[in-house]
Amino acid sequence: MSFPEWGYSYNALYVPLTSDWQCSLVPARDLQDVDRGWKLSYENRQKARKEREEQIEQDRRDFDRLFRVSTSRNGAPAHRDFSMYVAFISDHLRIARPADGEDLTRILRDAVRDGRLIPAIDRAWCGGRRVTRQYAPQSWPKRAPDPKPIVYGFRNGQYLPLNADGSFVDDSPYVPVRVAARSAASVRGSGASSGFDWLGAAEAAAGALLSGAPSDDGNGGDSILKSFCDRDGSDGGSLLGDAHPFEYVSDAMSDDVFEIAAKTNNPDYAAKMLGYDRDTFGDMIHAMKAENQLRGDDNVLWHDNGDVYFKGIKIDNMHSY
């Protein structure tokens, strides 16, 4: 057997009784509820509280009957246990310093009767017979930071993670032209290895534009770009004979970045994309959702032409509001 669960506290004082028992004196403010985690039902919680009250009352009677300190007035200052009693009384009871063992016994018995101290008796104590205290650790381990919760939104029949601003993680509301140009250049640079015939596509486009036709001379080696040359094979009647040559200009793209957007589910981006100030656009959103019987937390998708989509279906146009 050991102390009851309420008998363990860093503020408690463990004292011997005149029998072989050991008693823990716990300040009343340290007494915890019987079910701090709220794991018990109401009936079981009430039963546990009643059993604890009965046990505390029994321990209170036993402490009043068995606790006694016999230290003389002359020997009190040099007595180790007496000094620990005095320090405990000074810290938790805030009353006058006891002069001897009889005075100390009276003070602690009165504190237990008044409910300022809660006794918890170990009736199968096998340890020493000295007054002791349990001291709290001098340092505590650092608490690990709480993991950041992931918020999901429902779109296209599935749940997708959201950014801190409420937009979907895989959404890119605005794509800078320079980024798009670099992406196209990287794709064009890898065209040879990817197997896509960029030159053939350019030839076909040029032929369609100039109403050219593929060469039918039978050798299969002439390109469709031959239609750009002279129709009669001479140098004077070419379709591009009088065209000015292109001039190469380094870094023709300016430093200004223009942003274009096709769609977004972020109302701030949508307001900017469609040319409205945020307050006006907010009123438009409320009117649009009320008109289409949508809730305030229903996510919609705005396109750059003002169309509004909900779950992949076009439901309205923002310019109507």
> How big, in percent rounded to 5, are the helix, strand and coil portions of the chain?
35, 15, 50
Q: Could you tell me the pLDDT band of residue 25, with boundaries at 50, 70 and 90?
A: very high
Minimum mean pLDDT among 65-69, 199-203, 263-267: which range? 199-203
Close Cβ partners of 128 (under 8 Å, ≥ 6 residues apart): none
pLDDT at residue 215, as a whole number: 47
Instruction: Kindly report the average pLDDT of the chain as a whole number.
Output: 76
Rg (CA), the chain: 44
Q: In sequence order, which ranges of 67-211 are alpha helices (DSSP H)?
A: 80-92, 101-114, 177-189, 191-194, 198-209
Q: Which residue has the tokens 């509004």?
A: 308
Model's pTM, two decimal places?
Answer: 0.42
Share of the chain above pLDDT 90, in %: 19
**Beta-ladder partners of 168:** 162
- Alpha-carbon distance 183 to 123, whole Å? 80
Cβ of 274: how many Cβ atoms within 10 Å? 18
- Alpha-carbon distance 18 to 101, whole Å? 14
Q: Is residue 234 scored above 80 in pLDDT?
A: no
| E strand segments, 181-295 | 259-260, 263-264
- Alpha-carbon distance 205 to 211, whole Å? 10
pLDDT at residue 305, as a whole number: 86
Instruction: Give the mean pLDDT of 68-91.
Output: 88
Residue 190 or 136, more confident: 136
pLDDT at residue 190, as a whole number: 54
Find out whether 168 and 161 touch, Cβ atoms under 8 Å: yes
Close Cβ partners of 289 (under 8 Å, ≥ 6 residues apart): 295, 296, 298, 300
Q: Could you tell me the pLDDT band of residue 208, with boundaries at 50, 70 and 90?
A: low
In DSSP notation, 66-90 reads H------TTTGGG-HHHHHHHHHHH
Residue 107 or 177, more confident: 107
Cβ of 303: how many Cβ atoms within 10 Å? 18
Instruction: Give the mean pLDDT of 6-13.
Output: 87
- Alpha-carbon distance 22 to 6, whole Å? 14
Q: Could you tell me the pLDDT band of residue 57, with boundaries at 50, 70 and 90?
A: very high
Q: Which two tokens stand for residue 188?
A: 């064009």
Q: Which two tokens stand for residue 102?
A: 């009889």
Most confident of 130-134, 165-169, 234-238: 130-134
pLDDT tens column, 280-311: 888 888 888 888 888 877 888 888 888 989 88
Instruction: Give the mean pLDDT of 116-130.
Output: 88
